[in-house]
Amino acid sequence: MAQLEYADLAQAVIDGNAQEARRLARAWAESGRDPLQAVEHGFALGLRRVGELWEEGEYFLPELIQGAEAMKAALETLQPSLQATRGEQQKKGCVVIGTVQGDLHDMGKSLVATMLSAHGFEVHDLGSDVPIARFVEEARLHRADIIAASALLTTTMVAQRDLARAVRDAGLDGSPRVMIGGAPTTPEWAAEIGAQHAENALRAVAVAEALVS
C-alpha cells in the first residue's frame, strides 16, 4: 500500500466519504504511526475545510453532514489507538464538556472532547442540548478543572453566559474555569462573560493546558 499522507486523510473528510475515512484510519492505526497526528494534521484539517466551504456557500447541508459523518467514522476507528496513547500519559486535568441546551450540534464538540482526551485529559462528554444545571452537577461530581461549553447558534450562545454565571455562583471545589467555543463565539464574547475562548479543537487543547498548568 502506498504511503499514507495527511492530505489523503483530509480529503476523505472533505469528500464526505465515511467508508474511505474509516479505511484510511484503520490503515494508519495498523501502521503504528501516532493516531493523534492523523487527527490533528489530517482528518481535523479536512473537517475545518468542510466548514470553510460551508461558509463560502460551496457546500450545503448534505455535504456538511457527510463531512461530519466521515470525521466520526475516522475517530471511531482510531479511538482504541488514541486510548492506548492516552494510557501512557499522566492525567493533566478533568474536563466536563457539552453543547448548551437548545443546540443539537455535536461534531465540533466531539472533536474537541477527543483531542482533549488524546492529550491526557480525563473527559466527560455530556453530549448536546445540555442544561446548565447538569453542567454544574457533573462538574461537582467529577471535581472538574474545566467546564467546556459549545454553541453553534447565536440564539443559544447566551446560555454560555448563564453557565459562566452559574459556575461562579455554585462555589464548586477548585473553582473550575469555563471554556467556550463554537462558530458565533469570539474572544471578546468570552471575555465579556468571564470565560476562555477556543476557536477550534487544537486551540482548545492549548487553552486547557494553560488553564491547568
What pLDDT shows up at residue 193? Answer: 98
CATH code of the domain made up of 93-212:
3.40.50.280
DSSP state of 145: S
Residue from 167, 148, 47 nearest 99 by CA = 148
Indicate yes or no: pTM above 0.75.
yes
Domain spanning 6-87, CATH architecture: Orthogonal Bundle (1.10)
Q: What are the residues whose beta carbons fall under 8 Å from the beta carbon of 181, sequence distance 6 or more?
A: 108, 109, 112, 148, 149, 150, 197, 198, 199, 200, 204
What pLDDT shows up at residue 52? Answer: 86
Q: Are residues 164 and 195 in contact, defined by beta-carbon separation less than 8 angstroms?
A: yes
| Tens of pLDDT, residue by residue, the chain (213 residues) | 468 899 999 999 999 999 999 999 999 999 999 998 999 899 989 988 988 898 899 998 889 889 988 988 998 899 899 888 766 667 899 999 999 999 988 878 988 988 888 788 999 999 999 999 999 999 999 999 999 999 999 999 999 999 999 999 999 998 999 999 998 999 999 999 999 999 988 899 999 999 998
What pLDDT shows up at residue 68? Answer: 84
Helix (H, G, I), strand (E, B) or coil at 56: coil
Domain boundaries, the chain: 6-87, 93-212
What pLDDT shows up at residue 87? Answer: 64
